[in-house]
Amino acid sequence: MACYPTDATGVAFSPDSQHLITCGRDPAIHVWDVGSESGKRTVLRSHTAHLYQAVVSPDGTRLASAGGDGRIILWDFAERRRLFEFTGQHGRILTLAFSPDGRWLASGSWDQTVRLWDLDPQEHRLLAVLRGHERELTSVAFAPDGQTLIATDAGGAATVWDLKSALSAGLFGRHPTWVDALAFSPDGTQLASVGYVDPIVKVWDVESRRELATFPGHPEPIHRVRFTPDGRLVATCGHEGTVRLWQIGREQPVAIFTNGFPVSALDISPDEGLLAAGGGPVFGHRGASGGLLLWDLPGRQRAHLLEGNPDRVGEVVFDPLGRYLAAGLPDGTVRLWDPATGRLLHSWPAHTRAVFCLGFSPDGRWLASGSLKVPTRCTTVPHYFPDSPL
């Protein structure tokens, strides 16, 4: 199923996994009914410029969209109709996030502010303008408790706000360059951040904003950071070809997995049994190889080989239950394995260009893939695997 006609800048599943929402250069939101055989598409139009993000509320009742026209539009997701428009934030709005309870919406813009909006139907008002950043905002995210908001900017700063008072609790600290990746621990008490160029990972205590650890072990840029599902370890992968496991209180990594190629894709199975590391040379460089390796996390050693292992990988992801492992390749192919055995289940030509992003729906039945300047696509997993237990 082709789910976006041009470059997609925002892709999200609805909480019930029945719909896929895409947006991009076309100033419209495309809502795809992936839960039915028809694959019906609804197009929502109200914006006048490139869209950067469209997000669905946790209860699936509302949709928020924002982009280059500086407007935030709130939609009734079930009826596909416009509810309200928030204005007042200047410049392009690059990032949106609903609070876990759906009461608030946070937005970040080129005007260097984060704004917090009340979504109560009787109010629909601006709650607070959160200042302190010196560059345009690149991401906003709520902690799982819903009372803490994290924001990052293009200058490398990460800021935390206590939303009970809606006052800035101050900067976490700063990377030498902009923050490229963030990851909350599963319980929301810690935050890991990675700079775009500086090969350093910082881990912060969210409540106190205290820096808990700095891990400077990678000699080249770090591409991804992940907490293990139990929150005890932090995994990072770097351009020099290693995946490193870190533990708070220890200066050296507790394990180093050497892959032999630049690692730019990383994921951990939900049961923490396997770590998948994929990558290769920068797309377009010929004559060098990469691949996709599985590591036995408890045993700290290489796991079984994957059938049909590709020579380069752009993205890798486990499904929410750990039954499948998907990888996006630079030739536009998507491959799916049984991670427990390494058996290749299927491979299909999803795009004409490199696949850089993948995501399973919450129930694991759908897989969305994204590429550059070609349609976003959504694939039903059971369609390819009739004997699937899904």
pLDDT(204) > 60: yes
Q: What is the mean pLDDT of the chain?
A: 84
Name the band, by pLDDT with cuts 50, 70 and 90, for residue 226: very high
Q: How many residues does the chain have?
A: 390
Name the band, by pLDDT with cuts 50, 70 and 90, for residue 77: very high
Name the band, by pLDDT with cuts 50, 70 and 90, for residue 223: confident
Q: pLDDT digits over 79-135, tens only?
A: 999 999 998 888 899 999 999 999 999 999 999 999 999 998 887 888 888 888 888
pLDDT at 383: 46
How many other β-carbons are positioned within 10 Å of the β-carbon of residue 302? 13
Q: Whole-prediction pTM value? A: 0.70
Region 294-315: what's the mean pLDDT?
Answer: 93
pLDDT at 302: 95
pLDDT at 373: 56
The C-alpha atoms of residue 59 and residue 62 are separated, in whole angstroms, by: 8
Contact 32, 38 (CB under 8 A): no
Nearest to 124 by CA among 167, 169, 83, 68: 83
Domains of the chain: 1-87 (2.40.10)
Extract the tokens encoding 236: 């990072």
Which amino acid appears at position 150 of this protein? I
Nearest to 345 by CA among 355, 359, 335: 335
The C-alpha atoms of residue 141 and residue 172 are separated, in whole angstroms, by: 14
pLDDT at 175: 66
SS3 content of the chain, % helix, strand, coil (to 5): 0, 50, 50
Q: Would you put residue 361 in left (φ > 0), alpha (ψ -120 to 50) or beta?
A: beta
